[in-house]
Structures are given as C-alpha cells and as structure tokens.
Amino acid sequence: MKKFLAGLGAVSPVVAASSAFAAAGQPTPWQLSFQDPASALMEQIIWFERYTLWFIVPITLLVLGLLAWCIVKYRASAHPVPSRTSHNTLIEVIWTAGPVIILLFLAVPSFQLLTAQYNPEQEPDMTIKATGMQWNWEYEYQDEEPLIFSSFMLREQDRADAGKEDLAEFPRLLAVDNEVVVPVNTTVRVLVTAGDVIHAFAMPSFGVKVDAVPGRINETWFNANREGIFYGQCSELCGKDHAFMPIAIRVVSQEQFDSWRTQAQADLGEANRALMASIRDEETNVADAGN
C-alpha cells in the first residue's frame, strides 16, 4: 500500500515547478472526483475512496440483480401462489457472515485513516490559529513573534491593486486578499475556532475539514508536499454570506517563507507583493530553462 500511495503522490519536477494555479489547488468545471492531492493524508483518503468502491459497486449490482430476479420470477402472473418459506439456515448464515466480513475489510483501513488524521507523524513545526467570523477568516501565527491578520474574499474592484487579475490563478469567489503562507514539506498544526457561529475549515487538497465552534478549539494538521496556491471554503452554513468566505493557503519554499515571515511582521501587504514577485520570477526562470 505504501508503494502505491508513494506512486500516486509522485509529482514530476516540471509539474511541481509550474505555475501556482495548478488544477490541484482548486475545483474544476464538471469535476466528479476529488481534487488532486497535495499531502500524503489526502492521498490516503483518495486510496480509501477507490478501495471502498470495490465493495460498493458489486454489492449495489448484486442487490439490483436480486430485486430484478424477485420481481420477474415471483410476479403474480407467473407465481399465483406465494411461497410460505419461513426459514433457511444457509441463507441466514450467508447474509449474516457476509456483511460482517465486508465490514471488517472496511473498518480496518478506515480506523487507520482516522488515526492518521488526528496524529501527525512528527511534532508540528509551526502552529496557526484559524478563527471563522461572519464572514471572513482571521489567522494567527503562534510563534515567538505572533503575526495576526484577516483574510477576506477578494473583491473584483480590488484585483488590479492586489496584482491578482489572473482569474486562472486567483479564481472568482475563491481568491482572497491575504493568503495563509506556509513552507513546503512542513507539518503545520491548525487550531480552529469561531468568534460568532459555527463555521468549518476545509481544504480539499490537503484532506482537511474540521468544524470551527465558538468557545472551543479543534485541532487538525497538514503537510503540503508541493508548492502552489490551494483553495478551500467554509463548509458549514453560517449565514447569508456563507458562500463568500474562502480559504487560500500558499505553499512556498522554506527560503521564500522565511523572507515573507520576516517582512510580514512589519508590512503584510508589502510582504505579499514581494512573495508574488519572487514566485513569478521563479516561474519565468523555469520557463526559460525549459526553452
């Protein structure tokens, strides 16, 4: 299983170094499956979803076939005298033992996945507190010099000033004015709460979804294994603007994060602009090298 998951999550250097608006970071039109994984935990979730289909599809087809067989064979015109069979030991053993065995095959990997979701493989390297508000998110980097800022959905009239006019990279209703910035391959603890009503912090590419409850702190974690910008949303109905409080997390190199973190302490807006410029320069260099 580990080899399968490692292969599933493998990303070529060209793809990893490509533009930050890779499809993995946001939903796509007519999407039926999960977003592409950006963490080992999400890879496990996708594996488990595909694993369960090997049980769900045959069971569904079996039940459908039994219903069709009963409808046809025992219809009133072909079977005017109903069967009065009241007991069949073999059938009862099969429909008792069968589901028990199937549930065991589902339970073991599901418990392993549940355990992984609440127990990171290593101690977190950094802690961020996310507080849901009506209708934005407030973030606090909890380290020696705390950094606190608000994140609102990016308004269309503010795109030019923010340098976020590219709808492919900064999609409508998902882009924000201030993204959460974290380094790649770093275990990040997220403390989730709310300041008014119940919200939910959800980041599909990372396999993260946890309720934000007023007066209570829930804990989750993620470790992004590639750079880019990834989008999520509040996933708990919280009021009239529930649909307008997106979550954006930008994953960068350790060097870029250190530079951003130092500058953000003094001027968050300037730090964000410098980070975007650094990322675009890197993309340009990669494109030139490819040519």
Q: What is the pLDDT of residue 134?
A: 94
Q: What is the pLDDT of residue 193?
A: 97
Q: What is the pLDDT of residue 175?
A: 94
Determine if residue 154 is left, alpha or beta; phi over 0 gives left, psi from -120 to 50 gives alpha, anything else beta: beta
Closest by CA position to 199, among listed 190, 189, 209, 208: 209
Residues in CB range of 82: below 8 A, 6 or more apart: 74
Pick out the chain residues at pLDDT < 50.
1-24
Q: Are strands 199-203 and 208-212 parallel, antiparallel or unpaired?
A: antiparallel
Q: What is the pLDDT of residue 256?
A: 95
Closest by CA position to 220, among listed 193, 196, 181, 246: 193
- Tokens for 159, please give them: 């795109």
Q: What is the pLDDT of residue 19?
A: 41
Residues in CB range of 18: below 8 A, 6 or more apart: 283, 286
Q: What is the pLDDT of residue 281?
A: 81
Q: What is the pLDDT of residue 136?
A: 96
Residue carrying the six token digits 């028990």: 100
Q: What is the pLDDT of residue 290?
A: 64
- Tokens for 29, please give them: 């039109």
Fold of 1-84+120-291: Immunoglobulin-like (2.60.40)
Containing H/E element for 223? none
Strand stretches in the chain, DSSP E: 126-133, 136-141, 147-151, 180-183, 188-194, 199-203, 208-212, 218-222, 228-234, 246-252
Tens digit of each residue's pLDDT (9 = 90 or more) over 118-139: 999 889 999 999 999 999 999 9
Sheet with 180-183, side-by-side order of all strands: 180-183, 246-252, 228-234, 199-203, 208-212
SS3 state at 137: strand
- How far is 9 from 40, CA to CA, in rounded Å? 7
Q: Calculate the CA 246 to chain-centre distance.
A: 13
- How far is 223 from 47, CA to CA, in rounded Å? 18
- How far is 35 from 179, CA to CA, in rounded Å? 19
Q: What is the pLDDT of residue 189?
A: 96
- Tokens for 234, please give them: 């509040």
Q: What is the pLDDT of residue 285?
A: 67
